[in-house]
Structures are given as structure tokens and as C-alpha cells.
């Protein structure tokens, strides 16, 4: 039975394929046999898998890492891969099989979540207006030619796009330079990440380290485009590459913080793991879960563990 063809089918009860079948995998190494249930029958599959090159992005990353690491780093690389496979296995076991249904039927939680978003975002915008002014002055002093705010179209709940705000942390021509840096991408999947991105300004590097570049997104939270907690908003070009399994991220509003953002080792997390974390949040979200994620995020920010 195929995965849902469109977003409106995602919450409907139906036969469901495994995580591995839903993903567009080009090269998979099976590490350990396991079982899972599909359409009421027990079938053999792999609970733990190592995806070596799921897309062209993964292929670039794999080739680049091979060149950089050298033979002396083989043992360390194998250990990191083993840890990643084990982590992915635990995530999939906790996530389980079956569709993610979102929160449409949970009226009390939806009301409480929106009420908190409005109150919290308004309080932050008022209480830290002085910090906004200081950051704006620093950005202008560092790069007078560019704007203070960076505006970009992102994809929200149900695939609707909105304009997201951030403090500008990159040079003015950052988008134009992305193509020449694409082959240096250090993340798997459609997301682009570089530890030493040359497009980041001096002030921008500091803002990112403290996660202060995200502060203007409280405007999006207040407007209702985003929530305080939820999957990070993706670019339209990234969403265009999603398969049906990954599109389930769009069942809820995107958020300022999520499971991935609170992980101190998040640079080692693959895109597939990131998606699993988001779907696990959607499946188990609640007032207490949101509160814990907010507290964990504060800890990451205070210890300068930002991107």
C-alpha cells in the first residue's frame, strides 16, 4: 500500500509502509534483521539501517568526508556511524509504525498552545526591545550596506508559505553565493549547513552562537505563522524534495525550537533522524512536552551551544 498521496490524507487511518520504504533510499546497508508489522502481517526488514547515500546531497557529503578524514580517522568514523545507526534505531522504535495524525482533534491543547504563544511572544518582544536595538546597531556597524532583518519565504502548516524574520547574520549576497558552496554541504538531505560558512559576518557568528538571530521569529509566533515549539520551518525548495513520510512535518505549525535544536551534538544528526525527531514530537506533543523543550532550549542558549 503506498504512502498518502497528499497532505490531507496524512491523518486518515490506512495501511502504512515502513519508514525505510517511505524514504527514497539509494544505497542501504542492512546491519541487523528485525520485524515490524505492515497491514497486519509481520514481515522482515531492518530496524537498524545505515544510509550511505540517500540523495545527491548524501553522496557529496560521503565523498567529501572520505577525502577529509583519511585512513587515520577510519576508526573514529566507524564509531560515529555506529552511534548514529543505534540512535536512529532507538528513534524509530520509539516512533513506532503508522501515520502521524497531528493535533487537529486536541482542542484543549491547541487552545492552550496558542494562548501561550501569544502571551510568551508578546512578553519577549516587549521585555527585550532594548536587546533588539543593540543587535540592530551592531549589525549596521559591522555591515552598513545590508538590512538589519533577513526576510525569507518558509513553509508552514499544511504547506502554506509565510515570510519568516531573522536578524541578518550573513553577507548581503549570501543567497547568490550558495550555489558555489553547495558541494561543501556538511549535512545529509536537502538542508544546507557548514560549520565555517564564509558568508557569515563577524556579528552574525556571535548571534548564531547565542541563537540571538532567531529572536525576530517571535513576530511570526505572535502573528500565528509559527509556534514556540514545533518542527523548524523549511524552505520551499527543501519541501519540494520531501517524500510523503517527510511531508508529515507540515501537519503542525513550525516552531522556534524542537528536539533537534536542543541536542548538543546536533551537527552529527542526519536529516532522516531530524525528521524522525519532528514526527516523534508531533505524535507525543503536549503542554508538559512543550515546557520541557523550552527549558532545554534556554539551557542550550545560556551555554552558547547554538548553531
- Per residue in 231-242, pLDDT (tens digit) is 999 999 999 999
Q: Given this model, what pLDDT does residue 83 score?
A: 58
The contacts found for 237-240 with CB under 8 angstroms, 24 or more apart, are: 237/190, 238/155, 238/190, 238/191, 239/155, 239/159
* Nearest to 50, CA basis, from 30, 25, 36: 30
Q: Mean pLDDT lowest for which of 3-17, 111-125, 132-146, 168-182?
A: 3-17
Segments making up each domain of the chain, as ranges: 7-95, 107-302
Residue 153 predicted with pLDDT over 60: yes
* Nearest to 260, CA basis, from 247, 246, 278: 278
Q: Given this model, what pLDDT does residue 195 score?
A: 74
Q: Which residues 6+ apart lie within 8 Å of 185 measured at CB?
A: 57, 60, 61, 192, 193, 194
Amino acid at each position: 500500500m503506498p504512502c498518502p498521496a497528499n497532505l490531507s490524507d496524512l491523518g486518515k487511518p490506512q495501511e502504512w509502509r515502513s519508514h525505510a520504504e517511505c524514504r527514497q533510499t539509494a544505497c542501504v546497508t542492512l546491519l541487523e534483521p528485525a520485524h515490524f508489522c505492515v497491514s497486519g502481517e509481520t514481515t522482515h526488514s531492518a530496524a537498524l539501517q545505515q544510509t550511505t547515500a540517500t540523495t545527491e546531497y548524501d553522496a557529496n557529503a560521503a565523498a567529501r568526508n572520505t577525502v577529509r578524514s583519511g585512513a587515520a580517522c577510519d576508526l573514529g568514523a566507524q564509531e560515529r556511524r555506529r552511534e548514529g545507526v543505534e540512535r536512529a534505531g532507538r528513534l524509530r522504535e520509539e516512533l513506532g509504525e503508522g501515520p502521524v495524525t497531528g493535533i487537529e482533534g486536541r482542542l484543549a491543547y491547541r487552545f492552550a498552545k496558542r494562548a501561550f504563544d501569544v502571551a510568551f511572544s508578546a512578553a519577549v518582544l516587549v521585555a527585550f526591545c532594548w536587546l533588539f536595538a543593540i543587535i540592530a546597531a551592531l549589525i549596521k556597524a559591522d555591515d552598513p550596506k545590508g538590512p538589519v532583518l533577513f526576510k525569507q519565504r518558509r513553509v508552514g502548516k499544511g504547506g502554506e508559505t509565510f515570510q519568516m524574520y531573522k536578524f541578518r547574520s550573513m553577507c548581503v549576497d549570501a543567497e547568490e553565493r550558495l550555489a558555489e558552496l553547495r558541494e561543501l554541504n556538511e549535512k545529509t538531505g536537502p538542508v544546507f549547513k557548514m560549520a565555517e560558512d564564509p558568508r557569515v559576518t563577524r556579528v552574525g557568528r556571535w548571534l548564531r552562537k547565542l541563537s540571538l538571530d532567531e529572536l525576530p521569529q517571535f513576530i511570526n509566533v505572535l502573528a500565528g505563522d509559527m509556534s514556540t515549539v514545533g518542527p523548524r520551518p523549511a524552505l520551499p525548495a527543501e519541501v519540494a524534495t520531501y517524500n510523503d513520510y517527510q511531508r508529515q512535518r507540515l501537519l503542525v505549525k513550525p516552531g522556534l525550537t524542537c528536539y533537534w535544536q536542543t541536542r548538543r551534538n546536533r551537527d552529527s544528526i542526519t536529516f532522516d533522524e531530524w525528521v524522525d525527531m519532528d514526527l516523534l514530537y508531533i505524535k507525543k506533543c503536549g503542554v508538559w512536552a512543550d515546557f520541557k523543550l523550552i527549558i532545554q532550549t534556554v539551557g542550550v542558549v545560556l551555554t552558547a551551544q547554538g548553531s
